[in-house]
Structure formats: structure tokens, C-alpha cells
Amino acid sequence: MNDHELASWRRRAAALVVDAIVLGLVIAAALLASGMPVDELRERLEDGETLFVVLLFLVPEGIYYTALVGSRSQTFGKMALGIKVVDAESRSPIGYARAFRRWLSTAAMRALFTVPSVVDHLWPLRDPRRQALHDKFARSVVVRT
């Protein structure tokens, strides 16, 4: 495989699942270590305490994606599936600022409800460069390693 072969949608989707599992385990471990009772956690989530939800889910997710894609061009899911994020033209790493912008655009679409997020993740199926909307925003593509 060369660095210019675009990653398939299936590999991207599988990497997303692996990343969700990794993040879920990290967040669950942090919650267990905090000693917060399950009932209190459930109540705070059901009440929609915005700051709590942001700190619990978005901050760790943003750090995870930005740090790994910014430094290695890959999250653990992408490493496991043999794919990486690179500049759409030069195929070089995108760095921290664009990695953050790429993650932030995905998080923003999720915050706008499910439909934009689903459209974003299905977009590569019809795109000639297999880019999701968040890839277009960050001027990136996902390629095989």
C-alpha cells in the first residue's frame, strides 16, 4: 500500500467504533476512580447539566483526537485499522490546529442532533475523495498506511 491510497469507508467506520470503545473505557475508568455514585451520575446526565456533560465527554474526546491525530496522524482506532489522516493535497500530517478543527467540526455536527452527524459519517460513501464533511473542513483525507 502507498500513502496515497484512500481508506475505505468500512475501515473508517471500524476505526470509529474502536475509538468509541477506547474513549468509553477511559471515561468509565475515570468515573470509577472518582467514586461518584451511579445514581448521581445518572441524575446529572438526565438533568442535562451542560458543563458536566462537556467535561465528562467532550473534553476527553477532544484531547484524544487532537493529541493523537495532531502528533501521529492516527487515533488508536486508526492505528488498529491501518489508516491515517493527512493533508488532502500534500499527504503530509495535518498538525494539532487542523486536527482540533477536524474534531471540532465533527463535535459541532453531533451537537446539532443526529442527522448532520449521520450525513457527515456517510458522506465518504459518495465522495470521490472519500472525504467526510469534517475532512473537507480540515482539508484532510484518510489514507491507508
In the chain, domain spans: 9-144
Nearest to 65 by CA among 81, 46, 50, 84: 84
- Per-residue confidence (pLDDT) for residue 127, from 0 to 100: 96
d(CA 86, CA 69) in angstroms, rounded, equals 9
Extract the C-alpha cell encoding 126. Answer: 459518495
pLDDT(81) > 70: yes
Of the listed ranges 39-43, 64-68, 121-125, the least confidently predicted one is: 39-43
- Per-residue confidence (pLDDT) for residue 67, from 0 to 100: 98
Extract the C-alpha cell encoding 118. Answer: 449521520
pLDDT(110) > 70: yes
Q: How confident is the model at residue 75 (pLDDT cuts 50, 70, 90)?
A: very high
- What mean pLDDT is predicted for residues 52-71? 90
- Per-residue confidence (pLDDT) for residue 124, from 0 to 100: 97
What pTM does this model have? 0.85
Percent of the chain's residues with pLDDT above 90 = 67
d(CA 41, CA 104) in angstroms, rounded, equals 25
d(CA 53, CA 41) in angstroms, rounded, equals 10
pLDDT(125) > 80: yes
- What mean pLDDT is predicted for residues 122-140? 96
57: Cα separation from own chain's centroid: 12
